[in-house]
Amino acid sequence: MSAHLLTGRERAKQLQAELKETFAQLAGESSAPPTLAALQVGIDAAAAGYVRAIKRACLRVGIAFRPVELKNDSSQGDVQAALGALNDDGTVHGIMVLAPLPDQIDESLLLDGLNPAKDVDGVHPLNAGRLAAQRRPYFVPATPAGGIRLLEDAGVAFKGKKAVVIGRSDIVGKPMALLLLHRHCTVTIAHSRTQDLPAVAREADILCVAVGRPEMVTGDWIKPGAVVVDFGMTYSDGALKGDCEQESVAAVAGMLTPVPGGTGPMTNVLLMRNLLDAYRRSVGA
């Protein structure tokens, strides 16, 4: 068997074109251009690359991008004040707080102070809680939202299927598990303390992996015909690698998101989609 590859690039381009058109229509109705702010504390090569990618994604659909850079030795008070200013700024519609934050910053305390209406990453407890309680969340984190969109577009049936999500971060694993649960999958969340992980993975009709350990999952972890969503993105030996060993997993799975070109391209577009929701609510459109 060779898995059908669920590629995100074309779908992301299509969604991007739709967003661009919608933002252009809305621009005529409001004087404030849609604006996304990214708060970065200190210099980090990975975060800087992410900022460049977000900036490009914003420009492609007609969103203004406002980076806010603070020094690495900024205090908790400095960072909270900068975030507070963005919260209060009526010309800013979405705010991202970039990871990693320096050790002196209490991330939870900081994120508690983010305006939930501008939380396009879905990291504020109110948005996370609404997702968990299935009460029309303001914002679903973009990466799992993109993963689910790829599965839905491919016509994957969810109801009654056994789903295993490896990874329990607040931005990928946990919300992905909730999105699958809300679609009536029977969901297992696995993590670094899970015993006999390959056996747990082998039970999955839908296996989602968000760990950050390149090529950890191999073909012998996969139930024949399973749908595999690989969120992993790690640079290793000069190449971008997923959490799945592509060749051996593709030989057993029925569907697989490739790396690169699978879930990655969807993430930024779904982030822009969240910004559209924030903008619409802000301008009443």
Chain residues that interact with ligand NAP, rule: CB under 6 A: 143, 166-169, 171-173, 190-194, 197, 210-213, 231-234, 263-264, 267
Contacts for 68 with CB less than 8 Å, ≥ 6 apart: 37, 38, 39, 40, 82, 86
In the bound complex, what is the minimum distance in angstroms from residue 265's beta carbon to ligand NAP?
A: 8
Residue number with CB closer to ligand NAP (19 or 142)? 142
Instruction: Determine the Cα–Cα distance for residues 46 and 40; give it in Å rounded to an integer.
Output: 12
Beta strands in 145-284, from DSSP E residues, in sequence order? 162-166, 186-190, 206-209, 227-230, 234-236, 239-241, 255-256
Residue number with CB closer to ligand NAP (264 or 282)? 264
In the bound complex, what is the minimum distance in angstroms from residue 94's beta carbon to ligand NAP?
A: 17
Residue number with CB closer to ligand NAP (26 or 181)? 181
Q: Tokens for 227, please give them.
A: 């749908």
In the bound complex, what is the minimum distance in angstroms from residue 262's beta carbon to ligand NAP?
A: 7
Residue number with CB closer to ligand NAP (205 or 215)? 215
**Residue located via tokens 């822009």:** 272
Nearest to 166 by CA among 51, 249, 272, 265: 249
In the bound complex, what is the minimum distance in angstroms from residue 144's beta carbon to ligand NAP?
A: 9
Residue number with CB closer to ligand NAP (82 or 215)? 215
Give me the torsion for CA of 218, 162, 132, 142, rounded to 10°: 40
In the bound complex, what is the minimum distance in angstroms from residue 208's beta carbon to ligand NAP?
A: 10
Q: How many Cβ atoms from other residues are within 10 Å of residue 208's Cβ?
A: 31
